[in-house]
A = this chain, B = another copy of it.
Amino acid sequence: MGLIVQKFGGTSVGSVEKILNVVQRVKAETDSGNQVVVVVSAMGKSTDQLVGLAKEISSQPNKREMDMLLSTGEQVTIALLSMALNEQGVPAVSYTGWQAGIVTEAVHGNARVTNINTAAVQSQLSEGKVVIVAGFQGLTEEGEITTLGRGGSDTTAVALAAALKADKCDIYTDVTGVFTTDPRYVKSARKLLSVSYDEMLELANLGAGVLHPRAVEFAKNYQVKLEVRSSLEKIEGTVIEEEASMEQNLVVRGVAFEDEITKVSVLGLANSLTSLSTIFTTLAKNHLNVDIIVQSTTDAKTANLAFSIKTEDLIQTLGVLEDNKEQLNYEQLDAENKLAKVSIVGSGMISNPGVAAQMFEVLAANDIQVKMVSTSEIKVSAVVEEKDMLKAVEALHQAFRLSKGN
């Protein structure tokens, strides 16, 4: 007998019929004698509908009230799933985030989980009940409802699994696992049987979209064994754990990509020791995330700086930089849109120094210009023009032998 945390995303609970399918997934575990905690998202498009109502009222709705509004979505799902389980003879009880003891920092829209008081959940488990917890939401120490931002339900599931010392955390989704690249765009994409936390972290960060990076980080920190699997097909998924088994001894495990990237250049930046930190501290204070950063010194007095952001953050980023022009001490701003980021990921890279060079060769051979580069121990990212993105992904996928049947 073990303790399993199962997480079902919005598409997996998008209708009453799909909720009944989830019941079967839960029942399979309880029939095997396992204790089960289920974390669910809001049904299908219901969050979008709530956002739509808010937007009718205000173009920038009050963030506290947005959390109040959106947290109802998951609450609907937990109630319906619990009804369905009880109807099928599986004793179950639903808990909102606050009832499940999920404490977060006092930030609206994107709060981090700071603590979980598991007493109530554990008490229900010991009474033989399935506990259904609303994902994506928590409560501050002051009693305010918060939401955890994008992928928040993944975080709820992993955090609960860590706090409850669960044997496993199964993330059910509409794909069958983690692939070498996005199978919607690259036909030869192949499902990986296992990846390491670090690889998954890079894949998640790089737009693979299956699992939210914050959830993977949480899983890594607390050594929670994850499995990403299909809510519809009863087949093995992808296991994420500390040491992934080395399939075919491949150096590169996956190719991730993300469009709608913009490169912002800050030209003629006064070349002082603090100029870089001042710029990025200012952006961070405004909750603007910067990805790749490149700096080049033009002369002794000034430097040019470039960084990549999501295109949707462009107007706000330029606004912040312009509002602080005097303090930041630069001459000119420039922005280049319609870019994309393509990355190769694999923990074997650490011991294979030629991988980055090989990536640039492949891109050059395909006439793809590289605008920015970033490397870590287990990944290499290149910013390219959006129109070249899929061509780059396919070429890299093939060059690093990630395709089916290789």
Task: Identify the A interface with B (CB < 8 A).
Answer: 16, 19-20, 50, 53-54, 56-58, 61-62, 64-66, 68-69, 71-72, 75-76, 78-80, 82-84, 86-87, 93-94, 96, 99, 120, 143, 145
Given A61-B87, A62-B87, 13 more contacts at CB 8 Å?
A16-B53, A16-B57, A54-B79, A54-B80, A54-B83, A57-B83, A58-B86, A58-B87, A61-B83, A62-B83, A69-B75, A72-B75, A96-B145
Contacts of A83 in B (CB 8 A): 54, 57-58, 61-62, 65-66, 69
10 contacts between A and B (CB under 8 A): A16-B57, A20-B57, A57-B80, A57-B84, A58-B84, A61-B83, A68-B75, A69-B79, A69-B83, A75-B75
Once the chains are docked, how many angstroms separate the CA of A219 from the CA of B61?
A: 36
Q: Once bound together, how far apart are the Cα atoms of A16 and B78, in whole Å?
A: 27
A4 CB to closest chain B CB, in angstroms?
Answer: 22
Q: How many copies of this chain are found per oligomer? A: 2
Contact check: which of B69, B93, B94, B120 meets A80 at CB < 8 Å?
B69
Residues from chain B with Cβ under 8 Å of A65 in the complex: 79-80, 82-83, 86, 94
Contact A76 B86 (CB under 8 A): no
What is the distance, in angstroms, from A358's C-beta to the closest C-beta of chain B? 52
| Bound CA span A93–B54, Å | 15
